Structure 1
Amino acid sequence: MNAVMGMLRPPDTVAVRRLVCGFLLALLRSKALHAASRQLAALLESVGAAAVDAAAAAPAPAEGPAASLYVHKYVASSLPALVYTITFTACSLAMSSSPDDEPQQRELCAELVAVLEGSWLLEHTAQAVLLQACNPRALRDLVPETAGRVGLTTRTHMNLWRLHDHWSDDGEDANAAQLAARLRAVASGRCVQHVTRCIGLAVLCDADGGSAYGLPPEVLALLHTEQSPAGGEMSGLAVEQLRAMVCMMQLGDPAPPGRRGVLVLAMRVGWLAVTSARAQAAGEGGGGGIRAASGGESTTASLNGGGGPSRGSGSSPPAAVAAPEPRRSVPQEAVVPLAADALRAAWHYLSLPRAVAQAASAAAVTEAVDWWRLAVAVVDRAVPCSTGDAGMPDLFSVGESLAVAWGLLPGCDVLSLPAEPPPALAAALDGGLLRCLERLMRRGGRDPQRPEATLLQGLVQEVCQSQSVWSYLAPLLAYGEPRQAAALLATMRKLLRTCEPRVPGAGCLAPMPNLHDCILLAITCFLGDVKIAGVVEQAEVAAAAAPGDGPPSPASQQLLSLLSCAACEWLPELSQSLSHCILSKGTAIPGRLLTLLAWLPLLAGRCVVQPCTAADRRPPDDDAGGGASGGGAAPGQPGAVLRSLVAACCAVAAVFVEAAAVQAPAAAAAAGPSGTTAAAAPAAPPLPWRPGLLREAAAGLRSCGDQDMAAHAEGLAAYLELGGDGACEALRQAPPPPGPLVSALPSPTEARRLLPGRCANPRCANLAGDSEADLTLKACAGCGAVDYCCRPCQTAHWRAGHKGECGRMRGNGGR
């Protein structure tokens, strides 16, 4: 076996990889592991029987080890080492192979799984470890070799997890998915799962001092292989044993110790990572603690007895106490990987995601709230521990864990949200997600090289892949604490100002090179995913759901206010970003352009309609025209940009026509009794478009078969050529009638009241602190009429023109 293991050293070239792969295939097909597994099973059975007989006869202590020397040497060194080496080599080949090598690597993995399925080798080796742990008297003289066997077992299990993770990533390949399912089945054996949890629990109890759930101290001592002094950091092997426990949890069934028991173990591991990060920050002068229960059964007990915080506050319940410092901490480089694994494992065993949406029990929601508090603590304390590029996959994993689907019922749009949030969303808000997202953005914005920026990219990318930015963010805004929701929008606006905009990759799923592009993508997708046309089309569904035509629910009203606020905060920044791209690159990003064009008819319509009434929310006969969704889906449709452009121009021109119609009677009324005009009637403001370009757009639309919009473009061109004469009626008929969203949006002034404190510097980009709502504003020392968040903002505003205004205000007495 030593010769075999020597040949299976990690391959480092293509030729060696193929040679090793061929050798492994031959070894697996030789049935050697089947024979070894049968021998091991027979030896374990004989040792077990001998131990029972020896216990009944009460032999001398020396007789036990002599009887089991052969099996122990065989189990402790040769066979586990070979199994580990084979699985490790298979992992190395799979992770480093090129697309050309994939068929051979898949064949190798399939052969390995078949051997493990047919030989029961993993179960037998796990049984050997358990036999050693459960019979310490019979094998006490051979304990020094236990550490090596436990370490090999742990590493073999981690190799299985990595292989499963590798093949399950290719979700579109049915063969890869089947291979991942077979790996899951192999790893879910009772002995494999039990020994992994026992080994991990031994490390966990040593680190956090928590309950062993009835596992005898002598068994813990045999399974715990830690050699470092108490009070310091745990070894790399101990960390790997914890990771193996929480990773393998995701592959097995929960019994024993049951779903709740496995969930508690995963939560304890997550809190250990958080408290280790806190201890390291305190040791480095970071200071500060977190308010959270330390996980486990006490957390649930305390939460079940209390009323809980207000939704979206993000604070811990009154019964929660500061988590104690660990007796042995996780090394800094392992904090985020361990926390990411623990979050995934704990989510896997929450009952809420599998519950019927509105039928979730209070206990299920409480468990989910606990999970979100842990996730928020991981972001706050553990994530800053990540250093270098090696931790990027784990940061992405934490970000992906936050990208949860909220379970809103199909057909719910802006105007017909239910009064109460779904349980999954309520748990996230009570756990502090809304404030956590803003903290992520502000920390990443202050330093785009921080790990928070990487985590945020993982979150946005997962949201774009699995759902949409609108379906993720809009429910948080609708049901979250209003001030926190408005603060999040303001922070996102500031992030658009922190970096020079660049032309991002095409489409939502392209890699995002920096935080600015990530936020730009999220904002563009959010505004595009409002689906202006879609909201109108769904109004019929909403009307059917609420035949009484009552007012929108409080959640709908809050979302409408925040949507109006988002338009005021983000659209000017998007417009400037788009202008920068056009001027510097000579091109426009289609998705961003379509989003801006889609909003212009809505905003123009908002200028000429009255506030929404119940009757206004009936579905119109036509759609809103020019709608864009997804921030980049429409560019592939011929003429989409031209159609949206002409629709936007017509809508804006209609506002000018309306303004001129209002000004004319006012001018006539201003005429004197003799009929002389007291003041010349103001002319309609000129529209800055060239008729020739509109006629070119009309030609392009006709070539795409859109005759109606081409006629609108021709009509607008004629209106411009005639200086506003003779085409007003046709222009008024060009845009579609305003939809329900137009009349439902509140005014910008009303929307901005959600966050009354605002720096007077219009280009403020101050991202200090964890929330915009927490910024301290100070009044201008000169006039006292405006407020600033910092000295640089006051200086910038002074130079931008407040100097003169401040003097005039002082002359008039200021405030």
Structure 2
Amino acid sequence: MAQGLLRTQAIPAAARQLANLADALRNSTGAPSRAFCEAALLLLEPALDMQTNLLLFDKRRSKLGTSVEIGAAVVEAVEETGLLEHAARLLLHLRRACPTGCALDKRLGAGDWSFAGAYVQIARHPIDSRDGRATAALWGVLSGPCARHAAMVVGLMALAEVEGGREEGASNAGASAGGGSPPCPCLVRRARYDDIGEGSLMPRLRALIAALDPKLPAPPHRPTALRLLLRVGFAALASRDGAQAAAASGGADAGGADAGGSRDTAPPPQGAGATAARSKAWVAFEAFTALTRHLKAVDTPWRGAVLGAAADTWRLAAAVLRPTVLGRGYQDLHLNMYDGLQQLLDACVPSSDRLTFPAEPPPAVAAALVGGALPLQERLLRRAGEAPGGLESCVLGAYADEIGWVAAAPLITASADLSRTWGCLLPLLAYGEPLQVAAFVASAAKLLRRTEVYGQGGRVGPALVCELLKPLTAPFSTEDVAPAGPVRARLGLVLSVGLGEWVAGLWRVVGVADAGTGPGGEVTDADTRDSCLATLLGLCRSALLSGAGGASAASAALAGGSAAAGKGTGGSSSGAGSGSGGPDGAGGSSGDGAPWPPAGLAAVEVEAVGLALRRLHARTPAAGPEPFGLIAETGLAAVRLAASRPQEVRALGASGSANAWQPAAVRAVAEAVGRGLGTREGGALQADTVAALGRQLRAVAGQLEAWRAGEEGEGGGVDPDPEVWAGLQAVVEDSTLGAALAGQLVPPAEARRRLGLPPACSHPACANLAGDSEAGLRLRQCGRCGQAGYCCRECQTAHWRGGHKQACGGGSGGGGSKAS
């Protein structure tokens, strides 16, 4: 049928009819008759509906069991014949000349609805970007002067009606357009939508959004477009909230769906109410994405009205991502929010390979902080930890899908690329309000702890921490490293609050994940494990871990011991926490936190390299592209440790550990270095340096075989190749942000004191993610000693059983508690 409509020239015939009617109205010397207007409207609707349904058929052809593609042909025919342009011209003439009357007003409303649907279908139809003719035709249809004007008119009238109600719709249209009175007569006539319902307003708002697309030729005045899109987004949400509250007042309790998260979300509306609610959610989402496209098109730094609109865009994102807006069944909208959020975060780092910290926050960072970017990100983190398969987890899961860049990055890049990563949050951590920043850092640590112990949160926790830590080890040119100043010093304090826990947590995740499963089931996937290892080995390489030493429970974690640590809430935290603090657990997530550098991280590095070697050697081609970042860090670490700590490497081999270095695995890494790292674009090491690294790795493999055969006395190592280190130092010497911050890191307790932060929960294994934020968390003091504070009864009981009972002075019970 669709092909038949195209063959029989139905689109050109409809376009000629509409053009003749529009010409007749334009050339008429008097007011048209009611019969003429009714006939014109009766012809307008089916012509527009034909175009809409042809495009819908093309979208749904797979469900209909056909591979016939007609979308491009339809778009080209509409552009060649001017179907939508003539329809818009006729509609605008009818709005100005049509006699008033209830029946005609309703018919005019149906015409508005049909035109809005046709315009939106064209705007949203997927066209292969390689098809230049169809792409040009699509933009030509949307940018037609009458079509675009009509989309603006019907959208502005809908916006005025949503904001002011039916009686005030016409009078408010001018204000919606940005002026004190209607800018053209087209906005005066108000149609009626009684037969179609309130749902007809949403397609008209979507038409307004499409007409404001910054990709269209001659884009609208930027501040006006931003202002209108913000009003559309918030108006759609207000309409949805009002309808939901009205439905709830009929007997349901509307107070259960607070800002806490998807676990507290009321069931979405049913039937027609569900359709209308979903339509309004889509409008708000499309307004948000259009806003981010406009902001991306503006040269930074943002100023004036654009800066205020950026802050409001963050507020709109937070409003759209409320569970009361996007309840169950809206995961697709959450997934599509990812690109918009990432574009806003990317703007916080004007240059993707540079991190500088001037005295005042850059405009995009200031807008993000004012708009609540950190509270939004923290809320998503906490809800993802509470409900790993829930709604917020869908958004963060899209972020986590890009974690492979950590493991797959080139050997050593000339500069760090922070675009499309959580590394863009570092400026927010540097300039944010200390209490909110510390709350985000603590929530990230708790989400990581849930991943490592309970198997909850999926890959989100490790992905977040890896991407935040990667910029600390990636090289920056000397002039790119932020000069010493108060902002960078405060970033050092902020990172001191949670850096030790983050790193120790990643070690534990690697240990648990290598076993395949944890107490909560499958913990992470191969890309996440590889990225965790690559990040940790990079940290060991950087100046951040210089001077770290001693023993730690992290070694037991790599050997598989962390799976037994912290089972349930009553367990104690392995690694930094139980091993480094006093009997009261001054490490971990207590008020003191984990120390920095975390004890034992350097000691466990030898075994971590063995684990990485084992994983890389067992990797098959079916696993996907080679993780060059992990290969690079493993090779560099193996050469360095074989030269500087040969006794530990040899002792590990003699211990029978599964992570003992195997000569075949070292040679496999050497081959990977020569196979891929020397030719990857963006690699900063010279080819001769890469070749020298491969030779050095083969020498390490020979030394391992000699040790296995009992040759050479204990302590014999592999002399480092000066060419390797000269090439490496030429790129990374004193050029990482981590190296610049290393001298400004202090113990967590001291960092909290300097930042003026209140104490945290005293339970070192606290993984409580209830509520939206750690900020303002109400602690209850131990009723016996009055020194320890807890966020919940579970943490108090677990800490009591885990050692606080003895430190507190004994007793037979958990003791009382009092609010602090």
TM-score, normalisation: structure 1: 0.69
Q: Does 1:65 align with 2:66?
A: no
Q: Secondary structure at 2:33's aligned position in 1?
A: helix
Q: 1:420 to 1:65 in 2, by over 3 A?
A: same
Q: Does 1:474 align with 2:426?
A: yes
Aligned match for 1:345, one of 282, 285, 290: 290
The one-character-per-residue Cα deviations of 1:190-222 (angstroms, maximum 9, x if unpaired) are 221222222222222222217321349997685
Aligned match for 1:635, one of 627, 632, 635: 627
Amino acid at match of 1:521: A
Amino acid at match of 1:570: W
Amino acid at match of 1:378: V
Q: Which runs of 5+ in 2 are unaligned?
A: 175-180, 260-272, 406-417, 551-595, 598-611, 616-622, 675-693, 813-819
Q: 1:461 to 1:701 in 2, by over 3 A?
A: closer
Aligned match for 1:123, one of 57, 68, 85: 85
Task: State the match for 2:661 in structure 1.
Answer: 693
Partners of 1:449 and 1:329 in 2: CA distance: 22
Contact 2:342–2:420 (8 Å) recurs in 1: no
Q: Secondary structure at 2:173's aligned position in 1?
A: coil
Aligned match for 1:147, one of 109, 128, 132: 109
1:642-721 pair list within 5 angstroms: 642-643=634-635, 646=638, 649=641, 653=645, 693=661, 695=663, 697-700=665-668, 706-711=694-699
Partners of 2:386 and 2:189 in 1: CA distance: 48
User: How many equivalent pairs are there?
Assistant: 659
Contact 2:44–2:111 (8 Å) recurs in 1: no
Partners of 2:369 and 2:806 in 1: CA distance: 45
Aligned match for 1:369, one of 311, 335, 347: 311
Q: Secondary structure at 2:627's aligned position in 1?
A: helix
Partners of 1:463 and 1:260 in 2: CA distance: 36
Partners of 1:141 and 1:703 in 2: CA distance: 79
Task: State the match for 1:84 in structure 2.
Answer: 49
Using the TM superposition, name which of 214-223 and 745-754 deviates more. Answer: 214-223
> How far 1:633 moved relative to its partner?
7.6
Q: Secondary structure at 1:212's aligned position in 2?
A: helix
Amino acid at match of 1:530: P
Partners of 2:659 and 2:104 in 1: CA distance: 93
Q: Which has the higher contact order (CA 8 A, sep 6+)?
A: 2
Q: CA RMSD in A?
A: 4.8
Q: Does 1:397 align with 2:365?
A: no
Amino acid at match of 1:86: Q
Using the TM superposition, name which of 92-101 and 260-269 deviates more. Answer: 92-101
Contact 2:202–2:279 (8 Å) recurs in 1: yes
Task: State the match for 1:617 in structure 2.
Answer: none
Task: State the match for 1:295 in structure 2.
Answer: none
Aligned match for 1:248, one of 211, 227, 234: 211
Aligned match for 2:130, one of 174, 187, 192: 174
Partners of 1:138 and 1:805 in 2: CA distance: 84
Contact 1:65–1:141 (8 Å) recurs in 2: no
Q: Does 1:212 align with 2:180?
A: no
Contact 1:411–1:541 (8 Å) recurs in 2: no
Q: Does 1:33 align with 2:38?
A: no
Aligned match for 2:227, one of 253, 264, 275: 264
Task: State the match for 2:501 in structure 1.
Answer: 569
Partners of 2:539 and 2:549 in 1: CA distance: 15
Task: State the match for 1:200 in structure 2.
Answer: 155
> How far 1:288 moved relative to its partner?
11
Contact 2:763–2:790 (8 Å) recurs in 1: yes
Partners of 1:426 and 1:132 in 2: CA distance: 47
Q: Does 1:226 align with 2:197?
A: no
Q: Which runs of 5+ in 1 are unaligned?
A: 1-19, 56-63, 292-327, 504-513, 613-625, 658-682
1:517-666 pair list within 5 angstroms: 517-527=459-469, 529-530=470-471, 532=473, 534-535=474-475, 538-542=476-480, 551-584=483-516, 589-602=529-542, 604-607=545-548, 635-636=627-628, 640=632, 642-643=634-635, 646=638, 649=641, 653=645
> How far 1:100 moved relative to its partner?
11
Contact 1:274–1:378 (8 Å) recurs in 2: yes
Q: 1:724 to 1:493 in 2, by over 3 A?
A: farther
Partners of 2:721 and 2:645 in 1: CA distance: 9
The one-character-per-residue Cα deviations of 1:53-101 (angstroms, maximum 9, x if unpaired) are 236xxxxxxxx426xx35642x322453133223323233234438997
The one-character-per-residue Cα deviations of 1:358-402 (angstroms, maximum 9, x if unpaired) are 4x433332232233233333334xx4322333x223222333221
Task: State the match for 1:160 in structure 2.
Answer: 122
Task: State the match for 2:20 in structure 1.
Answer: 42
> How far 1:290 moved relative to its partner?
12
> How far 1:723 moved relative to its partner?
12
Partners of 2:759 and 2:787 in 1: CA distance: 13
Q: Does 1:186 align with 2:186?
A: no
Partners of 2:437 and 2:624 in 1: CA distance: 26
Q: Does 1:744 align with 2:741?
A: yes
Contact 1:788–1:794 (8 Å) recurs in 2: yes
Partners of 1:396 and 1:98 in 2: CA distance: 23
Contact 1:489–1:569 (8 Å) recurs in 2: no
Aligned match for 1:238, one of 193, 198, 201: 201
The one-character-per-residue Cα deviations of 1:284-310 (angstroms, maximum 9, x if unpaired) are 65559999xxxxxxxxxxxxxxxxxxx
Identity of paired residues, percent? Answer: 29
Task: State the match for 1:406 in structure 2.
Answer: 347
Task: State the match for 1:772 in structure 2.
Answer: 774
Task: State the match for 1:496 in structure 2.
Answer: 448
Q: 1:228 to 1:439 in 2, by over 3 A?
A: farther
The one-character-per-residue Cα deviations of 1:97-132 (angstroms, maximum 9, x if unpaired) are 389976x42xx2222222222211111111221112
1:396-435 pair list within 5 angstroms: 396-404=335-343, 405-406=346-347, 408-410=349-351, 413=354, 416-435=356-375
> How far 1:140 moved relative to its partner?
8.1
Partners of 1:563 and 1:48 in 2: CA distance: 68
Task: State the match for 2:685 in structure 1.
Answer: none
> How far 1:134 moved relative to its partner?
0.7
Contact 1:442–1:491 (8 Å) recurs in 2: yes
TM-score, normalisation: structure 2: 0.68
Q: 1:498 to 1:725 in 2, by over 3 A?
A: closer
Amino acid at match of 2:428: L
Partners of 1:694 and 1:607 in 2: CA distance: 26
Q: Does 1:357 align with 2:300?
A: yes
Contact 1:441–1:456 (8 Å) recurs in 2: yes
> How far 1:644 moved relative to its partner?
5.2
> How far 1:578 moved relative to its partner?
2.2
Partners of 1:218 and 1:690 in 2: CA distance: 80
Partners of 2:216 and 2:659 in 1: CA distance: 69
Partners of 1:722 and 1:555 in 2: CA distance: 55
Q: 1:804 to 1:269 in 2, by over 3 A?
A: same
> How far 1:433 moved relative to its partner?
0.5
The one-character-per-residue Cα deviations of 1:225-260 (angstroms, maximum 9, x if unpaired) are 33289xxxx622222222232233227759797443
Q: 1:37 to 1:71 in 2, by over 3 A?
A: farther
Task: State the match for 1:315 in structure 2.
Answer: none
Partners of 2:717 and 2:752 in 1: CA distance: 35
Partners of 1:115 and 1:263 in 2: CA distance: 32
The one-character-per-residue Cα deviations of 1:107-166 (angstroms, maximum 9, x if unpaired) are x22222222222111111112211121113388874442233222212212211221xx2
> How far 1:766 moved relative to its partner?
0.9
Partners of 2:403 and 2:515 in 1: CA distance: 31
Amino acid at match of 1:388: R
Amino acid at match of 1:592: C
> How far 1:795 moved relative to its partner?
0.9
Of structures 1 and 2, the larger Rg is shown by 1
